[in-house]
Amino acid sequence: GTAFREAMETQQHLNIEEFYEPLGAWLQADIYPSPDGLSVFLDDVSQRKKAELDLKESQDNIKAIFDNASEGFILTDKEGTIKIFNNNITDSILLGVSDEVKKGETIFKIVEPDRVDFFKNVLKEVLRGRTIQYDRQYTRKDGQGTWINLVINPVYQQGVVEGICITGRDVTDKKNAERQLEKSFLENLALSDRLSIIINTLPANIALLDKNGDIMEVNTAWDNFCADGFKGKDFCVGGNYVEIARKNTGRNADDGITMARGVSAVLHGQLEEFVYEYSSQDTAGEKWYRMVVTPLKKEEDTGVVIMHMDISELRMLEAERMRQQKEQQQRITKAILRGQEKERNHIGRELHDNINQILAGTRMYLSIAGSKDELVKKSIQYPLELLDESIKEIRVLCSNMVTPLQDVNLEEMIRELLYKLAKYQISFDFTYKVPGDPLSDELKLNIYRIIQELSQNIT
């Protein structure tokens, strides 16, 4: 009713839009007044009104997103005149530069004087269709450093660049994370270099195998090793250690099979460690090596580390120690045997020179006593026979016990033993052939004692 009265009073055309609740529709009314009354034309504009409201809602949503985005945005025309911006530009694009920006101002007014020429060149490139992006560090009022990522894009309308959009985003956390990651990487790289120097300085030949047994890395000692063996030129990076060892031929074929089985057992978790010693022939002669296979301890990495260590010197030292120990044992044995021979000779001479003399003297006195009395002679006949037998046995015993300690004639001594065996009707065939007489006196005595013991066991 108000619009109608206004039209009659002013006698001017009015156009109004209202929502008509009974019909649930938007109606547009064109009111034409005249002195005689009003002409009213109604048109249903619900669809257009709905489109307008949807557009306004969409624009409001876009503006809300634009104003509340974490990034800062500035939109300019081709000359750099600011057309629109959001609330976060002072915390991003204009950080540390300006706290105030106005529509209609040129963008170069809020750029530091010493960067105006640089920024003009950037905008020229953007107007040619390029997108330019770079990171820049700013300092906040509290002195805290902040990194801003700036992205400058061309704005197209119908395929033609008509403006420029500048976006600024705080990337301080990202930069700090990158710096920390770079620092950690450099520290790990330095640690890796130090470990690499240590490993490459070690005399041991070291290789890293993956879970399939393929050689991934080797140290300098391994790389420089060119002789035949289980670390030679066939065992380079990329080769499969297990297969190469298994196919090894020649004098080390059995060692190759053993090594292949050991490495496979560690790779499959059947062994915690595999240790094996083997020899290898090179131009310098025979060398000994100790192979140690251990699994990698990291869960993300599976494989083994193989070390081949030259233990030739240790083997030589061990052999020398065993030789010296054997020589010492031989010297002790010789000393014991020589002492025994001396003791035998001493006892034999004592029996022959003293006991036999006593027995001979006793027999002589008994014989004198028996010569004076026939009854006594008969009574001592058997004791005299016992004395004769004892003297004879002592002489035999002395003969067996007493041997020369120097210039031993082994052949003659053996023949004497065999001659004594002849009375037992034992047949034998004796041949003595030792060219050059290389045997020592101690060895000759040992051989004689062995044959003497055997002859006594026979009789």
Q: How many CB atoms lie within 10 A of CB 237?
A: 13
Low-confidence ranges of the chain (pLDDT < 50): 226-231
344, 448 contact by CB (below 8 A): no
Burial class (CB in 10 A: 0-12, 13-18, 19+), 445: buried
Return d(Cα 275, Cα 306) in angstroms, integer.
Answer: 10
Maximal C-alpha separation, the chain: 211
Write down the pLDDT at residue 404.
58
Q: How many CB atoms lie within 10 A of CB 190?
A: 10
What residue spans of 235-380 are helical by DSSP H? Answer: 241-246, 253-267, 312-350, 356-372, 374-379
Write down the pLDDT at residue 401.
59
Instruction: From 167, 150, 84, 142, select the one nearest 115 (Cα to Cα).
Output: 150
- CB-based contacts of 81-89 (< 8 A; 24+ apart in sequence): 81/105, 81/106, 81/107, 82/106, 82/107, 83/163, 88/168, 89/168
Instruction: From 147, 151, 144, 186, select the one nearest 166 (Cα to Cα).
Output: 151
Return d(Cα 201, Cα 222) in angstroms, integer.
Answer: 11
pTM: 0.44
User: 214: which strand partners?
Assistant: 240
Burial class (CB in 10 A: 0-12, 13-18, 19+), 189: exposed
Return d(Cα 246, Cα 259) in angstroms, integer.
Answer: 8
What residue spans of 100-246 are helical by DSSP H? Answer: 116-127, 172-201, 220-224, 241-246
The 10s digit of each residue's pLDDT in 139-163 is: 777 777 888 888 999 999 888 999 9
Write down the pLDDT at residue 35.
82
